[in-house]
Structure 1
Amino acid sequence: MRKVYPRGPLSYFRRSKLCSILLSLSFILFCFLFVIYENGNVVDMSSYESPENHEKYKDNDLSYKKLPSEINALDFFGSRRHNRNLQHLYSKDLFDEKRNKDLTKMIYKKRKIVSKSRQRGFFNVPKKTMSEKVKDTPSSRDVTDYYNFEGYRTTSSDESMESEPLDGPSKKLPKVIIIGVKKCGTRALLEFLRIHPEVKATGPEPHFFDRYYDYGLDWYRDLMPETNGEQMTIEKTPRYFVTKEVPGRVFNMSRDVKLVLIVRDPVTRAISDYTQVASKRASMKPFEQMALSDNHTGLVDTSWPVIKIGIYAKHLEEWLRYFPLEQFHFVNGENMVKRPSEEMFKLQDFLGLRRYINDSHFYMNDTRGFPCIQKTGSKYPHCLVGTKGRKHPRVDPNVIRRLQDFYRPFNKKFYQMTNIDFGWP
């Protein structure tokens, strides 16, 4: 029997194949638009992490470095639904409540990916000082306080302890950092500070801000010793002073951190540095050949790191872009050997500590020409290990005079920057 269909244009459309095709395409388009609306225009992180696509994303899709605001950075990293939950970003109480659960966790994950391509920070940090950056716009102070320029929270020293327990010992971020200078007595200075009962210091050099910055602040805090509310956490890494990226990273951790720098005559420092390296390399050239690129003209080889470190004024300029001079304390390395208690009195005053370390805590080792520590209640003095205080090789006096002439204008500028005359030749 012949099948009979209802008459009319609608009935004809319903039984056509075109109807099913259009309905299917409409449903797919609806689902696609819904997904875009809910998730925003974000990078597929699973494909981003794949090795074959890593270079492509590194060059083309790290567009957040060009984004003008922190809200756009949040749009890049998370869905719009999650961003709507973070619209209270500038409300301090609500931000503190959620930052450890949501924002920090998300940023740490994305930082680990970005760091593999050696990309610096979530925003471009200008070369002008952070204090000038804060004054740019009325709302930029909030951005600096709660969302820093390299993905971590920028805080004052008081705010950085808000989430840390106060009723018992806990690991805290350092309030004081000995940033250098290498071969100027940084190790001895830290050991002298350990005498004070209100000071707790790290053991090995953390090298967080110059080598392991990608590990995050939680990893860094875990390296610190446990302290109570009356004790101060201190760490030492001399390489910080000469690493260009470190000042901004330290500022992002805390803009109120106190910075200690111990310096000595740059010529003596260079010879000491060479002595340490030569003790590990038997085939190393003499100091005179390494220091001068041309023996006839006496041209100093400024590309040699041993020479470059001693240009203190150049490195200090980078730090002064972020921190005022009042947050620095400069220790005279030569005077610390001759009169250690005098330098420790000044340092204790700068750190706000009572004058506990005095002459009774030091014993001069005439053999090595360096003071040892006489701890309270100990029968014997504690001296640094045998690798410290090595005997320097004899250096041609003409080369020494040439290096003194080279460093003299830099030393003079350093004196002006610090308002201290160290009296180097």
Structure 2
Amino acid sequence: MRKVYPRGPLSYFRRSKLCSILLSLSFILFCFVFVLYQNGSGVDVSPYDSPENQEKYNEQDLNYRKLPPEINALDLFGSRRHNRNLQHLYSKDLFDEKRNKDLNTVINIRGRNKMKSERKLVSKSRQRGFFNVPKKTMIENVGDSPSSQEVTDYYNFEGYRPTISDESTETLEGPSKKLPKVIIIGVKKCGTRALLEFLRIHPEVKATGPEPHFFDRYYDYGLDWYRDLMPETNADQMTIEKTPKYFVTKEVPGRVFNMSRDVKLVLIVRDPVTRAISDYTQVASKRASMKPFEHMALSDNHTGLVDTSWPVIKIGIYAKHLEEWLRYFPLEQFHFVNGENMVKNPSEEMFKLQDFLGLRRYINDSHFYMNDTRGFPCIQKTGSKYPHCLVGTKGRKHPHVDPNVIKRLQDFYRPFNKKFYQMTNIDFGWP
């Protein structure tokens, strides 16, 4: 039976064997051209950085330069041969500009996480006692009440880490932001805000506004981020910051030491029982459902056992926290402000603090005004008609606490207070 082909314009080509052969050859030729286009050449050539090609480029004076290894590793422009071709397409200046721009962009983006992880590893190694930080406490070496000479001898050992100072990077023209030379490290609810506001009166002092919390929360951000939070100061001005959480955070002393071994540390303290009640009052003002102070302070009302796991109680053990700081800094770099005396006689405490910081006695009695209603001194700034008092959240009225609970807390804190007196060589007279 005769085979019937469909009619149409392509029916002849379907019956033609020559047409089929031509189509097949065309397809093969197309594939061959495509492969050549993708590879640049069908012939195996020597690498572009071979001695033969290097001499060839030098003879032709093409100003060829091998790309940095980062470019080849990241393969920004494709294959190596394509990199060489770009050298011909672009002029030397345009090619270098594009190469540097792309290289910096990609390396910065891909290297940011690596740098951050390396910074975390360094900070962890510092916490473990690396970088010539003394591993044993000063108390174990020189006793409970070290003298100034013993502290000096303890820290004058070979390999002690030098100070990282801003003096080498300071500009001589105009004010600039510098790392703090003085840090108010605590204690919470002992008058740190009032102390900082009193210091602001001095024309040679510049302080941060909010608490930076760099060494306890944002340490991974780096010192450049920390420096950027500081106010601009001249050569004759001093930068001060205040974060009370530093005193009770175990990792902070080593981190501050790694920034500078010469930083001056200010600590304001008050009766730990009064401090605990003040701390509770602040927290209770934000939580209406909080239990009474007596139930929080004692873990067992029958035995009178103090709940030392409660942070409000734990902060008042000043000797324990100060011991961590004395591992890194000698006692001469600390100044202790009496919180009770600062309320009664603020000018006396400010005279002592100004002497410790090396400032002239600018802050005096004329800068303070006693507010009888709140029982706390306000600031009378020069040239101002009205005194400046702290915000209403300061100086809250304390709730009534059972006297038996207060007596139990006084007995609990008494041995720690005695230890604190020996460490600081100061008797604060707490009951």
TM-score by length of 2: 0.67
Cα distance change, pair 218–291 in 1 and its aligned pair in 2 (3 A): same
Per-residue Cα deviation, 1:120-146 (whole angstroms, up to 9, x for no partner): 687695523699999999999999999
Distance across 2 between alignment mates of 1:64 and 1:314: 66
Distance across 2 between alignment mates of 1:104 and 1:349: 50
How far off is 1:360 after superposition?
0.2
Cα distance change, pair 176–319 in 1 and its aligned pair in 2 (3 A): same
Larger-Rg structure = 2
Gaps of 5+ in 2: 108-116
How far off is 1:111 after superposition?
1.1
Gaps of 5+ in 1: none
Per-residue Cα deviation, 1:245-285 (whole angstroms, up to 9, x for no partner): 00000000000000000000000000000000000000000
Cα distance change, pair 6–73 in 1 and its aligned pair in 2 (3 A): same
Per-residue Cα deviation, 1:335-384 (whole angstroms, up to 9, x for no partner): 00000000000000000000000000000000000000000000000000
Cα distance change, pair 25–135 in 1 and its aligned pair in 2 (3 A): farther
SS of equivalent to 2:390: coil
**Residue in 1 that maps onto 2:258:** 252
How far off is 1:167 after superposition?
2.5
Distance across 1 between alignment mates of 2:379 and 2:50: 54
TM-score by length of 1: 0.68
Greater alpha carbon shift after TM alignment, 129-138 vs 320-329: 129-138
**Residue in 2 that maps onto 1:52:** 52
Distance across 2 between alignment mates of 1:43 and 1:314: 77
Cα distance change, pair 328–57 in 1 and its aligned pair in 2 (3 A): farther
Query: Is this contact kept in 1: 2:133–2:161, CA < 8 A?
Result: no
Cα distance change, pair 295–146 in 1 and its aligned pair in 2 (3 A): closer
Cα distance change, pair 234–210 in 1 and its aligned pair in 2 (3 A): same
Query: What stretches of structure 1 move > 2 A for 4+ residues in a row?
Result: 1-107, 112-154, 156-160
Identity of aligned residues (%): 91
Query: Is this contact kept in 2: 1:186–1:238, CA < 8 A?
Result: yes
SS of equivalent to 1:372: strand
Cα distance change, pair 370–158 in 1 and its aligned pair in 2 (3 A): same
Cα distance change, pair 298–141 in 1 and its aligned pair in 2 (3 A): closer
How far off is 1:71 after superposition?
27
Query: Is this contact kept in 1: 2:148–2:332, CA < 8 A?
Result: no
**Is 1:153 aligned to 2:156, yes or no?**
no
Q: Among 118, 124, 132, which residue is 1:116 paired with?
A: 124
Greater alpha carbon shift after TM alignment, 296-305 vs 137-146: 137-146
Cα distance change, pair 75–176 in 1 and its aligned pair in 2 (3 A): farther
Per-residue Cα deviation, 1:62-95 (whole angstroms, up to 9, x for no partner): 9999999999999999999999999999999999
Query: Is this contact kept in 1: 2:49–2:66, CA < 8 A?
Result: no
Per-residue Cα deviation, 1:7-37 (whole angstroms, up to 9, x for no partner): 9999999999999999999999999999999
Cα distance change, pair 293–173 in 1 and its aligned pair in 2 (3 A): same
Cα distance change, pair 49–66 in 1 and its aligned pair in 2 (3 A): closer
Query: Is this contact kept in 2: 1:150–1:249, CA < 8 A?
Result: no
Distance across 2 between alignment mates of 1:142 and 1:36: 81
**Residue in 2 that maps onto 1:79:** 79
Greater alpha carbon shift after TM alignment, 81-90 vs 95-104: 81-90
Q: CA RMSD in A?
A: 16.1
SS of equivalent to 1:282: coil
How far off is 1:164 after superposition?
1.6
Number of aligned residues: 422
Distance across 2 between alignment mates of 1:65 and 1:131: 62
Distance across 2 between alignment mates of 1:15 and 1:79: 46
SS of equivalent to 2:98: helix
SS of equivalent to 1:177: strand
Query: Is this contact kept in 1: 2:133–2:328, CA < 8 A?
Result: no
Distance across 1 between alignment mates of 2:55 and 2:279: 39
